[in-house]
Structures are given as structure tokens and as C-alpha cells.
């Protein structure tokens, strides 16, 4: 299974070449829309954007007549490509664990997302802990090994979580029968606020110890080095501005409380994630300088989203917050452009503002807007070609480039799936033929031994049918993602799976179920 898919991927991964997309409507996002425009790709970068571009010798020409080009889409909240659980279930502060250590480059959802124009994802832990762990930004370089997925130069992050999820493990036993286990602090929003303050208090003490040690060294003394603390180190990085904080949050009170804790402790919240009540404290979020990465229109799936409104993005934008729309879902990440169209309906933002929410705005939030997020000379050639305007719900992705490499091509995909069907048939036929041959051989041997021992021929008694063998297709556990018994992953419909973060399952081990 995996090899077959990787084969497709490798077939798609061409060398970076010089490409000219011409006669297309170019949605630069930061520099307006260019009708009948072109984009020249050289050495993996956008070399030129505009009208009447000429193709250098040897350039591949992509005819964009009637088509649209946008920057690659960016998802500021993803759990795709995480092997196994997204939550380290032990401590309320598990900042020592790192998503980079568990990246699975063969997760088919990478390819599915690419096919929807996604090129960059902020891959995060779940929200079971007040501080969940270290996060990284990836490029969806399908077919490449894990180390090649990591977005070079993108600052790493750390996941915080506020509200219902991090306090669940602090509920009295049997409050959620599914979580009947030993109680863990915190069990309230008060406690979550305190947990983060306690952690940063320790981090500051730790930071001071190292400072004193280093000063001692500088004076030529021989101080005893502090004991390394892998939990506190990333928090010191946060204090020193070397690591971004991405904070899962819903209610206005908890958002404000975290801003005040951060002010007090001297660090910044880079983004509030989900932040469905962000519109109530947009002023404070903007003043702190944090971004808001929200859902376009999710509501109704748990109590803390009681005041969700799809007008959230519009209000926050108008109050000066940089807003992005994220997926938090292997499914939704496949069409963030369609999701962005909803902010035009809800709050009347412009199409450019809408598109910015899945391109340049998440790039700004992740500190990578100098490299990606718009079509400008010098930026990475992360581009998507569509048959219609990407905000149209009728649009379809035709091609996707990352760093000038073509990673998705619809016509190639169609050809490859034919190959896959043929290959499966071939293997099936071979399996059948082998079975037949084995049966024939066994029959012949039996006949021979019967003849030798003088037994009468009996063809009926052979137990050739093993009825314990699963014969239906679905019985084979070949699929790592879709739950075998509960088909298409609808992470939103099930209250316990409303977002990839939810720790309401008995055992938070299944990715996409948390």
C-alpha cells in the first residue's frame, strides 16, 4: 500500500525547473489581481510577476488561459502527519515533547491536502494539557522523508491550551465516565491560568540559574552548572522570543487572562487558536500583538462555543487583529479556499481579505511572510493553479508547486490512479493464480499419497475454506487514519471528535479523534 502510493508521489516530484505560467488571473494577495498575468518560477522562487513576461530559453510553459493562480494555502492549525497521539497524556505541562520527533511523511492526508492547494501547515499537539508541547511548521513535500518536510527558517512554536480541554483530567472521577482516572491539576480555568504562571515562574528561576552560571564562567570562576531541565528549556525560549506560543482558546475570559499572564511574565502570545470569542476581546488581542487563527463557521459542538459566531473573523479583522482561518482537520485542510469564501458572506469582508486569511495572514502569524503567503518576486514558488477563482465553491485545483517543484498535478493523478488499479488487479490475479496452483499441487499430492496407501479418492473433506478469514475488503486494517468501523472521518460531527484536539475519548491515542 504505502510503496504504491510513494511511487505515485515520486513520479510527481520533478526537479525544480524554470516555469512560466502565463495568461492567467494572478491573485498575488499583497499586490492585487493581475488579469492575463504571468508568474515566472526560477530556482524554486518567484522570479517575476506581471503582464507580458517572456519565457527564458528552456522554460516550461503552463498555459493559464481562463485559470487562476494563488499563493500556496497555509493552515495555521493542523495535526496532519503526526504519528500516533497528538496528546502526551501525563503532565499538564508536557513542553518537553516535540512534534518534529513524530512526523510521518507517509500520511496520505499530506497528499490529499496538497490536492486542495495546501502547501504549509503549522503542526501542533492536541489540547489536553495547559502546555502541550513543541510544534513545527512543515511544507507538504509529499514523497520526501520527514526531515525534508520541516519549513527551513520557520520559528518553532509551543502549544498552549485553555478552557474545557486542559481541565478535563481534573474533573472528579466518573464525571466523564470515559475519563475515569486519577485526577490531575488543573480542573478549572482558574487552575489553568495558575498552571501556566507556575510553569513560567519556574522557567524564570531556571533562566536566572543559567544566567548566573554563565556570568560566573565569564568572570573566570568555576561554577557548578545547573541541572538541565528539558521541560523548562522551551519555556525559556518563549521568554527569550525564540519560540512562538500558539494558544488553543475559546472564551473571552481565558483569552484575556492569558494575555495578562504573558504581560506579567514578559512573553508574547503569537496566536490564539480557535479563539471563537476573540471578537469580544479583539481590542486586547490586537493591543497584545497576537494573531487570531479561527474557524470560519464552527459552532454548537461543546458548551464553551455557545457564543460562537461566523462573524468572528470579520469583527476581529476590523479591530486590527491579523486573522487566519485554520482547519484543525484532515478533511477541512483540503479546501481552505472554499472556507475562506464564507467571510464574504459573514461580515462582508472583501474577496482579497478572505484569501489573505488562508495565505499571507497565517504566514504573518507564523513569521514566514517574508518567504511565503503571497506571489511576489523573491518569495518561494509555492503556487496553486485553479480552473476557477479559488473563492468559488465550484473551483478545482489543477496543479500545485512548492519551491518550484510540482507536487500535485491533476492529470498526472488521474493517470497514476489507473496504474494503481491495474497494479492491484495484477496482484489480485497473481494471488488467485498462486492459490489455484497451490490447491492443484495439494490435490495431486493427496491423490498420490492415497494411491500409495490404497485409500479411495475423496475430494470433499478438505478444509480449504478458512471461514475465519475476513473476506470483505474493509476488514483488512490497511488504513491507518479512517477508523475501520466508523467511516469517513468526520472529525466534526462526533462531539468527541469535534476538533483534532479533543481529549474526550477513553484513550487519547487515536490521531484525529482527539
Partner 1 sequence: MRTSALFLLAVASAFAAENDSLLIQNVTIHPVTSADIANGSVLIVDGKIAAIGTKLSARGAKVYDGKGLHLYPGLINAGTNVGLSEISSIRDTVDLDEIGVFNPQLKAEVAFNPSSEHVQIVRASGITTVLSLPSSSGEEFSSAADAPIIPGQAALMHLNGWTWEDMGLKRGAALDMLFPVIPSVPRREPAAGTPPRTYTELEREYKVKLEQIANFFEDARRYAQAKAAGKPDFQPDPKLEAMIPVIEGKRPILVRAGKERAIKDAIEFAEKEKVKIIIANPHDIGGTAELLARHGIPVVLGETLTLPLKEDDPYDSQYALPAHLFKAGVKFCFATFDVEFARNLPFQAAAAVAFDLPKDEALKAVTIRAAEIFGVADQIGSIEKGKLADLILTDGDPLEATTSIKAEFIAGKSVSLESRHTRLYDRWKDRP
Restricting to residues 476-505, name those near partner 1 by CB under 8 A. 476-490, 492-496, 498, 504
The C-alpha cell 493559464 sits at: 64
Ranges within 113-172 binding partner 1 (CB under 8 A): 115
159 and 94 in contact (C-beta within 8 Å)? no
Ranges within 201-260 binding partner 1 (CB under 8 A): none
What are the grid coordinates assigned to 102, written together? Answer: 513524530
Quick check: 392 binds partner 1 (CB under 8 A)?
Answer: yes
Q: Which is nearer to partner 1, 19 or 323 (CB)?
A: 323
- Residue 287 CB: number of other CB atoms within 10 A? 14
Q: For partner 1, which stretch binds (CB under 8 A), given 44-52, 61-69, 454-462, 465-473?
A: 465-473
Ranges within 249-268 binding partner 1 (CB under 8 A): none
What are the grid coordinates assigned to 28, written together? Answer: 498575488
What are the grid coordinates assigned to 182, written together? Answer: 486519577
From the list 4, 230, 422, 427, which residue makes contact with partner 1 (rule: CB under 8 A)?
4
What SS3 class is residue 127? coil
Minimum Å gap between C-beta 438 and partner 1 is 22
**Whole-Å CA distances, 247 to 78, 86, 244, 269:** 13, 15, 10, 7
Q: Which is nearer to partner 1, 45 or 248 (CB)?
A: 248
DSSP string, 402-449: ETTEEEEEHHHHHHHHHHHHHHHHHHHHHHHHHHHHHHHHHHHHHHHH
Q: Which is nearer to partner 1, 195 or 501 (CB)?
A: 501
From the list 286, 420, 443, 446, which residue makes contact with partner 1 (rule: CB under 8 A)?
420
**Whole-Å CA distances, 154 to 124, 137, 353, 366:** 14, 6, 24, 7
Minimum Å gap between C-beta 117 and partner 1 is 12
Ranges within 288-327 binding partner 1 (CB under 8 A): 297-303, 306-311, 314-315, 318
Longest dimension (CA), the chain: 99
From the list 335, 371, 399, 511, which residue makes contact with partner 1 (rule: CB under 8 A)?
335
The C-alpha cell 497521539 sits at: 85
Terminal alpha carbon distance of the chain: 26
Q: Which is nearer to partner 1, 132 or 347 (CB)?
A: 347
Phi-psi region of 241 (alpha: psi -120 to 50; beta: other; left: phi over 0): left
Q: Which is nearer to partner 1, 47 or 113 (CB)?
A: 113
Quick check: 437 binds partner 1 (CB under 8 A)?
Answer: no
Ranges within 338-367 binding partner 1 (CB under 8 A): 338, 341-342, 344-348, 351, 354
Q: For partner 1, which stretch binds (CB under 8 A), given 46-54, 87-95, 109-117, 433-441?
A: 109-117
Minimum Å gap between C-beta 430 and partner 1 is 18
From the list 144, 167, 189, 280, which residue makes contact with partner 1 (rule: CB under 8 A)?
280
Alpha helices in 107-232 (DSSP H): 108-114, 146-149, 164-167, 189-218
DSSP bridge partners of 249:
274
What are the grid coordinates assigned to 222, written together? Answer: 568555576
Quick check: 399 binds partner 1 (CB under 8 A)?
Answer: no
Minimum Å gap between C-beta 168 and partner 1 is 11
Q: Which is nearer to partner 1, 26 or 397 (CB)?
A: 397
Q: Which is nearer to partner 1, 42 or 309 (CB)?
A: 309
247 and 259 in contact (C-beta within 8 Å)? no
Minimum Å gap between C-beta 236 and partner 1 is 36
Q: Which is nearer to partner 1, 303 or 426 (CB)?
A: 303
Amino acid at each position: 500500500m504505502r510503496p504504491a502510493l510513494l511511487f505515485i508521489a515520486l513520479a510527481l516530484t520533478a526537479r525544480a525547473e524554470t516555469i512560466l505560467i502565463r495568461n492567467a488571473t494572478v491573485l498575488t494577495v499583497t499586490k492585487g489581481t493581475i488579469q492575463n498575468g504571468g508568474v515566472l518560477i526560477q530556482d524554486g522562487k518567484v522570479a517575476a510577476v506581471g503582464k507580458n513576461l517572456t519565457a527564458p530559453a528552456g522554460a516550461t510553459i503552463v498555459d493559464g488561459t481562463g485559470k487562476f493562480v494563488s499563493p500556496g494555502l497555509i493552515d495555521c492549525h493542523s495535526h496532519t502527519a503526526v504519528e500516533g497521539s497528538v496528546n502526551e497524556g501525563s503532565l499538564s505541562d508536557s513542553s518537553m515533547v516535540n512534534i518534529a520527533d513524530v512526523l510521518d511523511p507517509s500520511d496520505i492526508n499530506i497528499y490529499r491536502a496538497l490536492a486542495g492547494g495546501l502547501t504549509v501547515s503549522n503542526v501542533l499537539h492536541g489540547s489536553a494539557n495547559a502546555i502541550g508541547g513543541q510544534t513545527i511548521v512543515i511544507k507538504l513535500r509529499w514523497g520526501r522523508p520527514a526531515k525534508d518536510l520541516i519549513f527551513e527558517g520557520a520559528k518553532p512554536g509551543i502549544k498552549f491550551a485553555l478552557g474545557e480541554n486542559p481541565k478535563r483530567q481534573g474533573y472528579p472521577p466518573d464525571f466523564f465516565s470515559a475519563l475515569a482516572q486519577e485526577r490531575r491539576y488543573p480542573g478549572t480555568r482558574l487552575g489553568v491560568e495558575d498552571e501556566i504562571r507556575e510553569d513560567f515562574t519556574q522557567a524564570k528561576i531556571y533562566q536566572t540559574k543559567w544566567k548566573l552560571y554563565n556570568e560566573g564562567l565569564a568572570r573566570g570562576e568555576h561554577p557548578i552548572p545547573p541541572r538541565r531541565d528539558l521541560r523548562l528549556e522551551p519555556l525559556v525560549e518563549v521568554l527569550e522570543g525564540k519560540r512562538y506560543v500558539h494558544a488553543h482558546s475559546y472564551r473571552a475570559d481565558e483569552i484575556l487572562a492569558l494575555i495578562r499572564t504573558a504581560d506579567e511574565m514578559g512573553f508574547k502570545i503569537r496566536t490564539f487558536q480557535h479563539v471563537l470569542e476573540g471578537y469580544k476581546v479583539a481590542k486586547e488581542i490586537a493591543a497584545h500583538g497576537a494573531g487570531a487563527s479561527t474557524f470560519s463557521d464552527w459552532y454548537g459542538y461543546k458548551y464553551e462555543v455557545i457564543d460562537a459566531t461566523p462573524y468572528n473573523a470579520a469583527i476581529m479583522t476590523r479591530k486590527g487583529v491579523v486573522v487566519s482561518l485554520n482547519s484543525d482537520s484532515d478533511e477541512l485542510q483540503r479546501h481552505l479556499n472554499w472556507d475562506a469564501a464564507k467571510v464574504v458572506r459573514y461580515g462582508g469582508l472583501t474577496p482579497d481579505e478572505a484569501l489573505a486569511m488562508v495565505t499571507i495572514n497565517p504566514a504573518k502569524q507564523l513569521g514566514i511572510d517574508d518567504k511565503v503567503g503571497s506571489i511576489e518576486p523573491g518569495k518561494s514558488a509555492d503556487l496553486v493553479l485553479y480552473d476557477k477563482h479559488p473563492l468559488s465553491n465550484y473551483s478545482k485545483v489543477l496543479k500545485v508547486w512548492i519551491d518550484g517543484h510540482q507536487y500535485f498535478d491533476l492529470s498526472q493523478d488521474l493517470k497514476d490512479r489507473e496504474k494503481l488499479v491495474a497494479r492491484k488487479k495484477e496482484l489480485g490475479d497473481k494471488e488467485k493464480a498462486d492459490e489455484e496452483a497451490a490447491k492443484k499441487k495439494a490435490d495431486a499430492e493427496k491423490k498420490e499419497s492415497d494411491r500409495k496407501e490404497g485409500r479411495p479418492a475423496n475430494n470433499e473433506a478438505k478444509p480449504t475454506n478458512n471461514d475465519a478469514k475476513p473476506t470483505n475488503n474493509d476488514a483488512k486494517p490497511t488504513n491507518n487514519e479512517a477508523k475501520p468501523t466508523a467511516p469517513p472521518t468526520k472529525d466534526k460531527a462526533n462531539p468527541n471528535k469535534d476538533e483534532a484536539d479533543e481529549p474526550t475519548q477513553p484513550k487519547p491515542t487515536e490521531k484525529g479523534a482527539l
